[in-house]
Structures are given as structure tokens and as C-alpha cells.
């Protein structure tokens, strides 16, 4: 009599919209399953009643947090020990606590999707930058109220040519934006945890955070959200900025203290903002909604067919590698040395 090893399970948290064929292709490596839970309590109950025993890897989306909540200590503690890989669809993995995953025995290895979102997100940042520099939002709103340009017409905008773009977080998206901004005649300065080598910096000057704030005409936030970066931009930092400057945020809402930003805009500490992300999505601070000098997008940085497809395929490739080789394609930096 032979014991037949149970097929591993692969759990889908969220939806696959573009790479169905590649997802189904994983069925050769494991049984594809979905949770029934519609909220965190039910999800934890499914973990506790053994529904996910045998799960080796999971595909998760940003919006699946509406069901599971954050992958924090509480959640990691109830996951079955068979579950070794958590493959996130997104560059930013702030919905996952890397320490809780790393300290579990055995560790829960986490992957994200670097580089695939770079172009689409940097394009979004450029759109927000131009829109805010040119005061386009004021007239776009006015036109829909059947007013030509607006009453009064908006203040004259500013050209990007000759202006200084300051990038906080010079990673994949920051560097991509810097290259694109050069085509608009801008000079980039940046602040990062570490100075980049010359090739990566691409001619951008490394400066302290204080100098970045003081010198930038456009401050673009391109760093991850974590306990060290939460509210990295608040009143003290905003006070250092030029009153003619604008802020662009395509990173995560909570890297800016949103209430402080509203106050800074209202008091003329800075001239405008272009925002794709918010502290409590999908809620937006009413002070941002009512301020016409703020151009707003509902977290659409990677909202293109091409980029969404690339990102889904990337996650599936992570799962495939994990199941067939025991390694992830793009493990998060916090776990590189595990």
C-alpha cells in the first residue's frame, strides 16, 4: 500500500482579471482554491477550521484586504504551517507586516511586484505634476459647470522647463519619473536612504531631506509606506518648502500627514498638489476635495491593461517558481537575507 502525497493548494485572495490562462496553468502544480470568507472574522475562522490546511502559496491583491485585513501578527499566527509563500500583486506591500512573516516558524516568505509598475506609475506622476503646475484642475472643473476657464480664470500656471524636481525615494518609479521629467527640461535632485551609484542616479544630485524640501519646485513622493516613513511629510517639513512649490504623491497616502497637507495648502505654504493616493482610501479628506488647486486621482497609478497584465503574470511566476524551485522571483528586501 502506497501513501499518495496530497496535492498542494494554491489560494487566490482577490481576483485575476487578465492572466486567467497563466493562473489556470498553475493547476499542474497544485489545487487552485478560493476562500468563502467575506470579512476578516470569517477568514480567521476558515484558517482555524482547517479549510486552508495544505495551502503552500497564496496570490493576493491590494483589494483583498477588504476581506482578510492586514497580514499582521494576529493573522500570521493563525495561518497553517503548510503556507510558506505570500505573493502580493503590487509594488507596495504595506498591507503585510514583514516582521510577523519573517519571525514565524517556518517563515512566511513574501514577494511583491517591482519594476512592472514603473512606467505606468511614473506616467501618472508626470500627469499629476503637469496638471498641478498648470492649474488645469480649476478650468477642467469650471468647464463641467459650463463656465469657460472659470470665474475668475485660474492664476497663470508654470512651465516644468527649468524647474527642480525633488524625488523622495529614488527607486524604480522615482528613477523612471526622473528620466521622463528630463524630457520636460527639469533637473532632478533626490533623497534616498542611500546615495545611488552614478549610473542609477542618471545625473540626479543626492541631497539631504532638508535640502530636498527647500530646493524642490515639485516634490514627488516615491518611497514605500512603513513605520519609518509614515507622515515623513508633515507640518515641519511643509514649512521648509517654497510657497510656489507643489507636491505629487503616487506612493501611499500616509507618507504625508493629510491634515497637515490640507492646512499647508489653505495657508499658502505650498501652491498645489497632485494626488493618486490617500491616507484612508477610499475616503478622501474633504479639505482636499474642496481645494481646486489639488488634482485628484482614485489610486490609478497602474490602471492600464498592459501594466495590470504584467503585474498579474509576475505574481503567478512567483508562485510557479516557489512551488517548483522553493524560491521566489522577487522576495521583499526585508527577507532577502532569510
Q: Looking at the annotation, which residues are catalytic?
A: 252, 281, 299
* Strand segments (E) across 177-279: 187-191, 205-206, 218-221, 246-249, 272-275
Residue 276 site contact among ligand LL5AMS7Z, ligand NAI, none (CB < 5 to 8 Å, cut-off depends on kind): ligand NAI
- Does 92 engage in binding with ligand NAI (CB under 6 A)? yes
Instruction: Please identify, using beta-carbon distances, which residue of 251 and 319 lies nearer to ligand NAI.
Output: 251
Residue 221 sits at φ, ψ, to 5 deg, of -95, 120
Residue 229 contact, options ligand LL5AMS7Z, ligand NAI, none, Cβ 5-8 Å cut-off depending on partner type: ligand NAI
Round to whole Å and give the CA distance between 170 and 160: 20
272: β partners: 246
Residues in CB range of 36: below 8 A, 6 or more apart: 42, 46, 51
Residue with Cβ nearer ligand NAI (30 or 169) = 169
Provide the 10 A C-beta neighbour count for residue 298: 12
Supply φ then ψ for residue 189, to 5 degrees.
-120, 155
For the window 250-289, what string marks contact with ligand LL5AMS7Z as x by the rule CB under 6 A? ----------------------------------------
Contacts to ligand LL5AMS7Z from residues 292-311, by CB under 6 A: 301-302
Distance of closest approach, residue 239 Cβ to ligand NAI, in angstroms: 19
Which of positions 214-233 make contact with ligand NAI (CB under 6 A)? Answer: 222-225, 228-229
Name the residue nearer to ligand LL5AMS7Z (CB basis): 35 or 90. 90
Cα–Cα dist 48/197, whole Å: 48
**Which is nearer to ligand NAI, 82 or 226 (by Cβ)?**
226
Output Rg (C-alpha) for the chain, integer angstroms.
Answer: 22
CA distance 249 to 291: 16
C-alpha cell at 296: 485628484
For ligand LL5AMS7Z, what does the binding mask look like between residues 117 and 146, x meaning CB under 6 A? x-----------------------------
Q: Per the structure block, which three cell numbers stand in for 285? A: 479628506
Q: How far apart are CA 13 and CA 128, in angstroms?
A: 31
Nearest distance from C-beta of residue 303 to ligand LL5AMS7Z, angstroms? 10
Describe the crossing of helices 118-133 and 136-144 by its angle, rounded to 10 degrees. 80
Q: Is 169 in the site for ligand NAI (CB under 6 A)?
A: yes
- Give contact residues for ligand NAI (rule: CB under 6 A): 91-92, 114, 117, 121, 168-174, 191-193, 222-225, 228-229, 250-252, 276-277, 299, 301-302
- Give contact residues for ligand LL5AMS7Z (rule: CB under 6 A): 90-92, 117, 301-302
Amino acid at each position: 500500500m502506497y501513501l499518495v502525497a496530497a496535492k498542494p493548494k494554491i489560494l487566490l485572495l482577490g481576483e485575476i482579471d487578465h492572466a486567467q490562462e497563466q493562473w489556470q496553468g498553475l493547476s499542474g502544480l497544485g489545487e487552485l482554491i478560493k476562500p468563502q470568507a467575506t470579512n476578516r472574522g470569517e477568514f480567521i475562522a476558515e484558517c482555524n477550521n482547517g479549510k486552508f490546511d495544505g495551502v503552500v502559496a497564496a496570490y493576493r491583491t491590494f483589494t483583498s484586504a477588504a476581506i482578510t485585513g492586514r497580514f499582521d501578527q494576529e493573522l500570521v499566527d493563525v495561518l497553517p504551517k503548510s503556507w510558506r509563500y505570500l505573493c502580493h500583486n503590487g509594488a507596495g506591500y504595506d498591507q503585510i507586516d514583514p516582521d510577523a512573516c519573517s519571525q514565524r516558524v517556518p517563515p512566511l516568505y513574501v514577494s511583491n511586484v517591482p519594476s512592472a509598475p514603473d512606467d505606468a506609475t511614473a506616467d501618472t506622476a508626470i500627469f499629476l505634476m503637469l496638471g498641478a503646475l498648470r492649474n488645469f484642475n480649476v478650468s477642467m472643473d469650471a468647464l463641467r459647470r459650463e463656465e469657460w476657464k472659470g470665474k475668475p480664470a485660474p492664476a497663470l500656471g508654470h512651465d516644468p522647463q527649468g524647474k527642480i524636481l525633488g524625488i523622495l525615494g529614488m527607486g524604480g518609479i522615482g528613477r523612471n519619473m526622473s528620466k521622463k521629467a528630463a524630457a520636460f527640461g527639469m533637473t532632478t535632485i533626490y533623497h534616498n536612504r542611500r546615495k545611488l551609484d552614478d549610473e542609477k542616479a542618471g545625473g540626479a544630485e543626492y541631497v539631504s531631506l532638508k535640502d530636498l524640501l527647500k530646493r524642490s519646485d515639485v516634490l514627488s513622493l516615491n518611497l514605500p509606506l512603513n513605520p519609518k516613513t509614515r507622515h515623513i511629510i508633515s507640518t515641519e517639513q511643509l514649512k521648509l518648502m517654497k510657497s510656489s512649490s507643489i507636491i505629487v504623491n503616487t506612493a501611499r497616502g500616509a507618507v504625508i500627514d493629510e491634515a497637515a497637507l490640507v492646512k499647508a495648502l489653505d495657508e499658502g505654504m505650498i501652491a498645489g498638489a497632485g494626488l493618486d493616493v490617500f491616507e484612508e482610501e477610499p475616503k478622501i479628506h474633504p479639505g482636499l476635495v474642496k481645494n481646486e488647486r489639488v488634482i485628484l486621482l482614485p489610486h490609478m497609478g497602474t490602471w492600464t491593461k498592459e501594466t495590470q497584465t504584467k503585474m498579474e503574470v509576475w505574481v503567478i511566476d512567483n508562485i510557479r517558481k516557489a512551488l517548483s524551485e522553493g524560491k521566489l522571483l522577487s522576495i521583499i528586501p526585508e527577507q532577502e537575507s532569510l
